[in-house]
Structure 1
Amino acid sequence: MPQGKTIDTHAHILSDETMRLIAKEAPTISPKITPIDDEMSVLEVAGVPYRPFPRGGWNLEKRLADMDFAGVDMQVLSNTPQTFLYNVDASLTATLAALQNDQIAATVKQVPDRFMGIATLPMQAPEKAAAELTRAMRTLGLKGAQIGSNVNGRNLDDPALEPLWAAANELSAFVMIHPMLVAGADRLKSYYLGNLIGNPLDSTIAAASLVFGGVVTRFPRIRFLFVHGGGFVPYQFGRWIHGWKVRPEPQVHLKESPEAALKTLWFDTILHAKEPLEYLVASAGASRVVLGSDYPYDMGTLECVRQVRALSISDADKSRILGVGPLTLVGGAFARSAA
């Protein structure tokens, strides 16, 4: 893998071929795009329409042009969260996850100097998820997996998920946690709050579950990345550490302060403002912050590289965020402490 390149760790894809193959296997739930104009379509999955889906989400030529504009040398490709499909038959989800992973691997093989990839998994069936992660990494050459912040409402410290964490630990996998089915959705229906507040909220719940549930401590070789700047996690480090000291509940599964576990988490740069991003770098450390764009969605940004370069931090720290850190996170070389 090349040194010195800018690497976007958070970029989604849903290719034409993937949609065609899913439609062949499961026509009633397959994703479909309905054009709005030359650059935008509406994405529909299982008959449910989602927000506009830009052309770069499925068109490789447009994606590469956007990467060039953004100054991104490589993307780590992951599926669109709408195709996690944790709420359908587990065997079908496993089949469709394997299909999506095969297509991501094919795209990486097609343009290996611009793309790496991570898998999607049938999380409602942890044994199947573990098997697919192993196949994706050992056979397809993918670097890890993207999973939802919960599994049909179950937090990620659920004991049923232990087989997956054991496999991910053995593989030293990179695991990107992406929000979905967010908590409090009934109160977040207005003003796009389901995304603006719900996404960072559910990422925070996922991180807390993994930390206080002892998953991060028991499986130290997994590299957990929390997108959208890690939700509210970096701004509540102190509260979590204090709460563990003074309350018995946080100590049920975590017998030592969460401080050590928190220091192992990774966060992407998608905060859309200089000041909070600089705070994230100061609190988590530049070696735990990595470039992310959330491509191709409107809540992402093509300014991600320029935003990092505009920060009031050292050039060395900028290089860590843009390339060194992503390469450590995704590249497969296990590193517990800062690069």
Structure 2
Amino acid sequence: MTPSLDRRRLLATAAATAGLLPLAASKAAAAPTGPYRIDMHAHYLPPDYRKALLKAGYLTIGGYPTPTWSPEAALAFMDRYRIQTQVLSVSDPAVTFVKGATARNLARYCNDYAAALVKKHPKRFGALAVLPMPDVLASLAEIRHALDVLKLDGVGLISSYNGVYLGDPRFEPVMAELNRRGAYVFVHPAAPPPANKPELLIPDFLYEFTFDTTRAATAMIYSGTIKRYPKIRFQLAHAGGTVPFLANRLALLENVGLPDVVKPVLPDVSGNIRSFYYDTALSSAPSAMKSVLEVTSRDHIVFGSDWPFSALTLQGSGDPQPKLSETFTDPQRLKIERANALRQLPRLAALLTP
């Protein structure tokens, strides 16, 4: 238990004993014993997938050296930072670097691998399916396999596929199917094609990733995707990129004097932004978290580590994101780091909730 949580627990217990607080309040302040965090932004690179990446020339992902990964290393990392469960997903570039049957087979391999890992460690791992996008028909088949046969916890998408963003009409059948299932969908940024970004000697993961998430979210809002498919629960990586900061600007058309015949066709930008879930991966500082709180409720914030791509920043143990305490109280952190995620993941909630 951290000193901060320990101190709060003692104070709450003393207050309850003196009759100053109800006993329930003292219990709410107590930290769980052992690992308790649910990591909603964590990646895996199974052996054949990593080999395929390297063969295709992906020595870096978004400018970050392509990491090694193993279940054993993941479990050791989780234990160091009191993470009970990682919900695994495939990062950029998903399987877009191959085509046709190779892409279909690689996506199936990753999903089968993840399902076997979840079966072996059902309380330690969850998984989100990777799809062979932009192949829509193959993706629909993989959704059925991943969610009906493998019983994975949701789906992972990247913000754009070869420069085509989520919200594009070409992806409409996939969105319709995910909506029919009420799927939890994690949107991870992708590195935009070289022709679609400036030539700066700065790794994409530092800044371009955040912009690509923003492009995808904006495209889904203004295409009407969010309105048409309200049963999809979208999680935006890295505190939504720049969406919270730009929320007012993105919604400007809601507040200008447009003709009444135009207003009904405009999206509810503010409402759509409020509906997203936002993770804390590489975004735990007050500048990010307070921006998120300006556009949505605390219930829509979930913990994310971005491991193993964050390994350089997470080499110790204990609290992986101490800056969260600059914005949230300890009870609020417990909700963000556990309860909010479990509300979205019925399989894990059934296993982990007493």
TM-score scaled by length of structure 1 = 0.81
**1:274 and 2:286 are equivalent in the alignment:** yes
Give the count of matched residue pairs: 303
Contact kept, 8 Å, 1:173 with 1:221, in 2: the verdict is yes
CA distance in 2, matches of 1:224, 1:256: 17
Cα gap change, 1:47 to 1:305, in 2 (>3 Å): closer
Q: Which residue of 2 aligns with 1:164?
A: 174
CA displacement, residues 196-248 of structure 1 (integer Å, 9 cap, x when unaligned): 11000000000001111110110011011110111000111111222344387
Deviation track 1:87-125 (CA, whole Å, cap 9, x = no partner) reads 532332112111110001111111111100011001111
Map 1:123-202; keep pairs closer than 5 Å. 123-182=133-192, 186-192=197-203, 194-202=204-212
Instruction: List alignment gaps of at least 5 residues for structure 1.
Output: 24-29, 32-43, 334-339
Structure 1 residues 293 and 304, CA, compared in 2 at 3 Å: closer, same or farther? farther
Q: Please tell me the root mean square deviation across aligned C-alpha atoms, in Å.
A: 2.6
% identical aligned pairs: 28
Aligned residues of 1:213 and 1:254 also touching (Cα < 8 A): no
Q: Is the 8 A contact 2:254 2:263 kept in 1?
A: no
Offset at residue 261 of structure 1 (A): 1.5
- Whether the 8 Å contact between 2:227 and 2:267 is mirrored in structure 1 is no
SS in 1 for 2:182: coil
* Partner SS, residue 236 of structure 1: helix
Partner residue, 1:75: 86
Separation (CA, whole Å) in 1 of partners of 2:324 and 2:79: 16
In structure 2, the CA distance between the partners of 1:320 and 1:272, relative to structure 1 (3 Å rule), is closer
Q: Which stretch of the first structure deviates more once superposed, 130-139 or 200-209?
A: 130-139
Q: Quote how far apart the aligned CAs of 1:304 are.
A: 6.6
Q: CA deviation at 1:252?
A: 9.3
| Higher alpha-carbon deviation: 320-329 or 208-217 | 320-329
Q: How does 1:281-292 map to 2 (within 5 A)?
A: 281-292=293-304
Task: Tell me: CA distance 1:189–1:291, structure 2 relative to 1, closer, same or farther (3 Å).
Answer: same
Q: Give the unaligned 5+ runs of structure 2.
A: 1-31, 349-354
SS of match in other structure, 2:88: strand
- TM-score, normalised by the number of residues in structure 2: 0.78
How many angstroms apart in 1 are the aligned matches of 2:294 and 2:83?
24
Paired position in structure 1 for 2:11: none
**Which residue pairs with 1:95 in the alignment?**
105
Residue 211 in structure 1 maps to residue 221 in structure 2:
yes
- Identify which of 47, 63, 66 aligns with 2:74: 63
Return the alpha-carbon distance in structure 1 between the equivalents of residues 58 and 287 of structure 2: 37
Say if 1:195 and 1:305 are closer, same or farther in 2 by CA, change over 3 A. closer
* CA drift at 1:307: 2.7
- The 5 A counterparts of 1:249-328 are 254-270=265-281, 271-298=283-310, 301-302=313-314, 305-307=320-322, 310-328=325-343
Match of 1:10 in 2: 41
Equivalent AA in structure 2 for residue 327 of structure 1: L
